[in-house]
Amino acid sequence: MTQSLWVVIPAAGVGQRMQADCPKQYLPLAGQSILDRTIAIFLSHLAISGVAVGIGQDDAYWSESKWFHHADVHSFVGGKERSDTVLKGLDFLSNLTDATQDVLVHDAARPLLTHAALDRVIAHKSEQGALLAMPARDTIKLQLSESLSVDKTLDRNSIWLAQTPQKFPIDTLRQALLEAQRKGLAVTDECSAMEFMGYHPDFLMGESSNIKVTLPEDLLIAEALFSYLHSSNTKDS
């Protein structure tokens, strides 16, 4: 029997690179906010117990979410950095579920995750944890220190581009994030915190459509992909 999981969605950031009038997770995507579409992915999956959304201290938009009053969606005030918000989410979940249970962490600005990819993460069993990722397809260059010059070319066959969701036991991930903070280590995703603790999470094949909306042009790409995926699902049904 598949374990039912909680999802933590850190959504306390402002998305400065998007250059928008509101945090990027509240920008519209095909008639709904990016965040609402992201949450919907998980609420429509039978293996998900609930969603914990970390919002900013002065968030003026969350109350307008279509999921604001949903029984399986809970919000909490996040922190300054992504890792701070995820930590607060894990603390929040410690009162709702067993701390040894796995948790999924997913970017608020990845609204095109498919159930097929989500299924791969949920079904995968490993003490090391797991994350969706894509093998690099482009030639990868390493920058020369303090210069906009090429140092060398890396072997792309060993390079993977991390995506979310990422899955780890609640308490183990919490301890990893706390230790990374204590040592002042930069944590850009949950996997990196686990790496610092000596874990080697498993790569699971992601999808090129599971993009993270970061720049203005990403929203245009997301609109096109959403339209394509929606039309494909309609044809299949």
Q: Beta strand pairing status for 150-154 and 140-143? A: antiparallel
Q: Is the pLDDT reported for residue 120 higher than 80?
A: yes
Of the pLDDT bands very low, low, confident and very high (cuts 50, 70, 90), residue 111 is very high
Cα separations (Å) of 101 from 5, 7, 42, 87? 8, 12, 17, 15
pLDDT digit string, tens, across residues 155-202:
999 999 999 999 999 999 999 999 999 999 989 999 999 999 999 999
Name the 3-class secondary structure at 162. strand
Q: What is the mean pLDDT of the chain?
A: 93
Number of domains within the chain: 1
Name the 3-class secondary structure at 150. strand
Q: Tell me what pLDDT residue 142 has.
A: 95
Domain holding 37: CATH number? Answer: 3.90.550.10
Q: Tell me what pLDDT residue 23 has.
A: 92
Q: Is the pLDDT reported for residue 237 higher than 50?
A: no
Q: What are the phi and psi torsion angles at 105 (to 5°)?
A: -120, 130
Q: How does DSSP classify residue 96?
A: T
Q: What are the phi and psi torsion angles at 36 (to 5°)?
A: -60, -40
Q: Tell me what pLDDT residue 19 has.
A: 66
Name the 3-class secondary structure at 53. strand
Q: What is the domain range of residue 100? A: 5-236
The residues pairing with 103 across neighbouring beta strands, listed in sequence order, are: 6, 168
pLDDT digit string, tens, across residues 7-38:
999 999 876 677 678 999 999 999 999 999 99
